[in-house]
Amino acid sequence: MTVGWHFDNTYSKLPKSFLENIKPVPVKDPKLVILNKNLAEQLNLDFSKFSEIDLAKIFSGNNLPDGSETIAQAYAGHQFGHFTMLGDGRAVMLGEHLDKDQKRYDIQFKGSGRTSFSRSGDGRAVLGPMLREYIISEAMHALNIPTTRSLAVVSTGEEVIREQMLPGAILTRVASSHIRVGTFQYIAATQNPDDLKTLFNYTIERHYPEIKQSETKALDLLNLLMKKQCELVINWMRVGFIHGVMNTDNMTVSGETIDYGPCAFMDQYHPQTVFSSIDQHGRYSYNNQPRITKWNLARFAECIIPLIDKDEQKAISIATETINNFEKLYEEKWLNMMRDKLGLFSEDKEDKNLIFELLTWMENNKADFTNTFCNLMEIQSIKDPIYQNEEYLNWKTKWKKRLEKNNTDKEKYLELMRSVNPIFIPRNHKVEEALKDASEGNLETLNKLLEVIKDPYKDNNMLEEYQKPMPSKNGKYQTFCGT
């Protein structure tokens, strides 16, 4: 009886300085909390013949499958601007699995025990934050945003010491790879030119084979990563997602969103929104995300300077010029994304003003980010009296005038709007409610929420309660680093 693993491990074959060979630390009494059957199917894995007990052994790492080669990866990172040597301190990669189209996925256990990179940490993770990562990453996937995925969560039967004792858990994370900007920073910091070459070629082979034959591979890689990360952050901006901890170790070279810790979706529109309790200066606030993306890309560029040109000064000036294109690239793409949100075809010189007028109105009136676009799409279940506001109605008149320039029928622009404006996001209070019930052993609320966020763009007037922003009586929503 097999699950169908098709391991083909390549990262574990890289030089010893890249990783540690280590097994997950077995846990006492693993229990399966949730298994992502859709994702399993997509990966050509079949868990249907296994008992819950066996599944718990598989997803806790207590039973390691044939062909796995478990490793912890080394990486570094700028955390809130400060450089630190890090590495997988509480995660172990099981291996690289190939699906039937030979697409490669890292399968990783998060919360699997101490490694040589654990520093003072216990190597463990807590049930609530692991389920939270499961919910938000699956929501992001359904929103068509590149992201790591979540295959399963098991509880470990062990308690984890935080401010209080909490139930331990392990998340099985699936990623197109776990190579981070911080991986390049780690290798660059070791100052071994051969290792840098190895990581560089490995990354290109795995993620950007189209530039393999190029004469300017390093510059091409920088440009490709910049494009990917620019698109990613614009996607975040599109749905009001705030990552919360955009350290360079939490930025992948694949362009997938990774590490769902203190992230959250914004309700009321405010450009400086921050949820994370530790982000006191708003470094990772909603509107700062593109700026930080550029900052992180500059850190990446620094690592590959020796590969851009043998002449260091020349390489620096080429890299600087490239990175400085970020704003222009971002602005153009952001504007187009906002045009899509408003159903505007082609370009009009007044578009930018029209967009900023709406955003200013939203900010001044504390309008809900998601629901404002739902109102524009005439979603009937959005009944907030705020949308009778005179200023808003005046703006709408201007917008309608601009829509006339589309020269298309209404259905055409609504179709565009429906493809980019979610109706359902994982609302903060709904996520909290699901986690609370799950912690008490009731998974119904969680499963219902997962059902809703699976189809975020489809109107469903039976699900009105999932559209409402968090009640203001709940106070300001705060998130904590998901340990």
Contact residues: ligand AMP, CB under 6 A: 86-90, 117-118, 121-124, 249-250, 259, 261, 481, 483
Q: How far is the CB of 189 from Mg ion (least distance, A)?
A: 17
Encoded amino acid at 115, one letter: T
Q: In terms of CB distance, is 125 or 417 closer to Mg ion?
A: 125
Q: In terms of CB distance, is 96 or 259 closer to ligand AMP?
A: 259
Long-range contacts of 445-450 (CB under 8 A, 24+ apart): 446/34, 446/131, 446/135, 449/135, 450/135, 450/138
Single out the segment in contact with Mg ion by CB under 5 A; choices: 53-61, 249-257, 265-273, 385-393.
249-257
| Binding residues for Mg ion, total number by CB under 5 A | 2
Q: How far is the CB of 415 from ligand AMP (least distance, A)?
A: 39
Task: Return d(Cα 371, Cα 385) in angstroms, integer.
Answer: 12
Encoded amino acid at 452, one letter: V
Task: List beta partners, residue 477.
Answer: none
The SS3 call for residue 125 is strand
Considering the candidates 88, 249, 259, 368, report the single residue annotated as catalytic. 249
Q: In terms of CB distance, is 90 or 132 closer to ligand AMP?
A: 90
Single out the segment in contact with Mg ion by CB under 5 A; choices: 245-253, 292-300, 303-311, 366-374.
245-253
CB 129 within 8 A of CB 482: yes
Q: In terms of CB distance, is 160 or 354 closer to ligand AMP?
A: 160
Q: In terms of CB distance, is 183 or 273 closer to Mg ion?
A: 183
Q: Tell me: does residue 185 bind Mg ion (CB under 5 A).
A: no
CB 20 within 8 A of CB 72: yes
Look up 99 and say whether it is catalytic. Answer: no
**Pattern of binders to Mg ion over 252-271, x per CB under 5 A?**
-------x------------
List the single partner that 96 binds among ligand AMP, Mg ion, none, CB under 5 to 8 Å by kind: none
Task: Return d(Cα 457, Cα 419) in angstroms, integer.
Answer: 7
Q: In terms of CB distance, is 295 or 457 closer to Mg ion?
A: 295
CB 263 within 8 A of CB 139: no
Q: How far is the CB of 63 from ligand AMP (least distance, A)?
A: 23
Q: How far is the CB of 27 from ligand AMP (least distance, A)?
A: 14
List the single partner that 124 binds among ligand AMP, Mg ion, none, CB under 5 to 8 Å by kind: ligand AMP
List the single partner that 136 binds among ligand AMP, Mg ion, none, CB under 5 to 8 Å by kind: none
Task: Return d(Cα 416, Cα 396) in angstroms, integer.
Answer: 18
Report residue 7: phi and psi, to 5°: -80, 140
The alpha carbons of the chain give a radius of gyration, in whole angstroms, of 23
Q: How far is the CB of 86 from ligand AMP (least distance, A)?
A: 3
Q: In terms of CB distance, is 168 or 255 closer to ligand AMP?
A: 168
Q: Where are the alpha helices (DSSP H) in 240-325?
A: 289-303, 305-308, 312-323
List the single partner that 279 binds among Mg ion, ligand AMP, none, CB under 5 to 8 Å by kind: none
Q: How far is the CB of 236 from ligand AMP (least distance, A)?
A: 17
List the single partner that 121 binds among ligand AMP, Mg ion, none, CB under 5 to 8 Å by kind: ligand AMP
List the single partner that 89 binds among Mg ion, ligand AMP, none, CB under 5 to 8 Å by kind: ligand AMP
Q: How far is the CB of 77 from ligand AMP (least distance, A)?
A: 7
The SS3 call for residue 141 is helix
Chain position whose Cβ is nearest to Mg ion: 259
CB 97 within 8 A of CB 42: no
Q: Residue 474 contacts by C-beta under 8 Å, 6 or more apart in sequence?
A: 429
CB 275 within 8 A of CB 242: yes
Task: Return d(Cα 223, Cα 220) in angstroms, integer.
Answer: 5
Q: Where are the alpha helices (DSSP H) in 45-120?
A: 52-60
At 435, list the tokens. 């986690």
Please identify which residue in 112, 250, 257, 293 interacts with Mg ion, judged by CB under 5 A: 250
Give which of 198, 203, 195 is closest to 179, Cα–Cα: 203
Give which of 210, 227, 181 is closest to 325, Cα–Cα: 227
Active-site residue list: 249
Q: Residues in the site for Mg ion, rule: CB under 5 A?
A: 250, 259
